[in-house]
Amino acid sequence: MKKYQNLINLIDKRDTFLLTSHVSPDGDSIGSLLGLKYLLEPYAKEIDIILADPVPEYLRFLNGTDDIHLYEELDFKMNKKDYDLYFTLDCGTLERIGEVQQLISADEKIINIDHHGDNNEYGVYNYVDSTVSATGELIYNLAIELGSNYQVDFGMAITTAIITDTGNFKYSNTSSETHRIIADMLELGVDTQKIIKQVYGTESYSSLRLKGEALNNLQIAAQQQIAWISINQETLDHLGATWEDTEGLVNYPRSLKDVEVGILFKEVGFNKTRVSFRSNTYFPVDEFAHEFGGGGHSRAAGCTIQLPLIEAEELVIDKLESKF
Ligand code: 5GP
Ligand code: MN
Ligand code: MN
């Protein structure tokens, strides 16, 4: 019997699939979604990919992104379609899919494929493994199990998922298996240089200037074990930048010598602050993010706090400092 036989049986007997991932989708969301779509095509009558937020510009180079639909642009919202299965990728909790939750007709139809250690197994089938670097690795494993005849487009999607979630193979989630998968992708003909250039080397003028502004305001606490940056809407408007341009910014405070926890605070709305946490060697930022209703991985986590930027910053830094 194959490792994922129950899942394969489910897929075999069903025809219509809705695929989704978390709000503010990243490279792992988009790469896994496209990879799974290619994988399911031989089994399906219909596959739709629907997200609560748009595909970020830096991932639009991937073939297939034009077929990813935005929830708020759907015209069948009021007259909901009933899919046979709902796949949620890269989501530790069902809430992470945002408004797309409203399209799910029954929780008994959810297939949860994810790599977050705090995943609460909300699906009827949960393929959850926190030892892999990216959900893209799990989609690759499924392709192997299914004996799928995958092509370069699948490879580009999976490789993008892995490159983005490992920070270009820098993070501790990178394993020998991660590299084995990439070796297979290279043999398939995947252009890793193109992916790396698109993801890490296509900064806009406003996005680079935003980095400058952010670094100018770098703050530290606890003898430089904590470092953070804050961005508000006014700064973005002033530089002509967007929230998308803040992707990866949290790695700057994290990269400072002696820092254990790097943080990025974003004032995304009135009384609404998004917080990204990164740690370097031991601090469990997922556990810390849980204290604010968020979650994630031990070295990368996030949360949303219903407070203005300054107050959220004070609350988080005070609480964190007390742990050092
Ligand atoms: P980022 O800082 O890049 O937004 O997120 C880092 C990691 O934490 C990602 O794996 C992401 O899925 C997770 N994460 C971010 N925000 C939240 C949140 O509000 N809730 C949960 N459960 N996970 C989050
Ligand atoms: Mn993700
Ligand atoms: Mn991921």
Query: What is the value of ipTM here, to two decimals?
Result: 0.97
Give the span between the Cα atoms of 120 and 92, in whole angstroms: 6
C-alpha of residue 234 to centroid of ligand 3, in Å: 30
Give the span between the Cα atoms of 239 and 210, in whole angstroms: 7
Cβ–ligand 1 distance for 117 under 6 Å, the answer: no
Select from 50, 88, 83, 94 the least CA-distant residue to 69. Answer: 50
The pLDDT score that the predictor gives to residue 79 is 67
C-alpha of residue 29 to centroid of ligand 2, in Å: 5
The pLDDT score that the predictor gives to residue 77 is 66
Does residue 86 surpass a pLDDT of 70?
yes
The pLDDT score that the predictor gives to residue 122 is 97
The mean of the pLDDT values for the chain is: 95
C-alpha of residue 89 to centroid of ligand 2, in Å: 8
Q: Which residue did the predictor score with more confidence, 7 or 63?
A: 63
Does residue 164 surpass a pLDDT of 60?
yes
Give the span between the Cα atoms of 99 and 38, in whole angstroms: 25
Does residue 285 surpass a pLDDT of 70?
yes
Cβ–ligand 1 distance for 56 under 6 Å, the answer: no
Taking ligand 3, which is a single-atom ion, which protein residues have CB atoms under 5 Å away?
28, 90, 134-135, 165
8 A C-beta contact, residue 320 and residue 288: yes
The pLDDT score that the predictor gives to residue 75 is 82
The whole-number average pLDDT for the span 23-44 is 97
Residue found under tokens 């926190």: 130
The whole-number average pLDDT for the span 181-186 is 98
In this prediction, residue 5 has a pLDDT band, given cuts at 50, 70 and 90, of: confident
Query: Six-digit token pair at 122?
Result: 């909300």
Q: Which ligand is nearest to the CA of 163?
A: 3
Give the span between the Cα atoms of 32 and 20, in whole angstroms: 10
User: Considering only CA atoms, which residue is closest to atom 6 of ligand 1?
Assistant: 301
C-alpha of residue 130 to centroid of ligand 1, in Å: 14
Domains by residue range for the chain, with CATH: 5-200 (3.90.1640.10), 206-321 (3.10.310.30)
Give the span between the Cα atoms of 261 and 245, in whole angstroms: 21
The whole-number average pLDDT for the span 23-46 is 96
In this prediction, residue 1 has a pLDDT band, given cuts at 50, 70 and 90, of: low
Cβ–ligand 1 distance for 135 under 6 Å, the answer: no
The whole-number average pLDDT for the span 210-221 is 96
**Which residue among 58, 173, 291, 297 is best mutated to probe the pocket of ligand 1, counting the most ligand atoms within 8 A of its Cβ?**
297
Give the span between the Cα atoms of 242 and 252, in whole angstroms: 18
Give the span between the Cα atoms of 11 and 27, in whole angstroms: 25
Each residue's pLDDT tens digit, 125-142: 999 999 999 999 999 999
The whole-number average pLDDT for the span 168-184 is 97
Report which residue type is found at 273: T
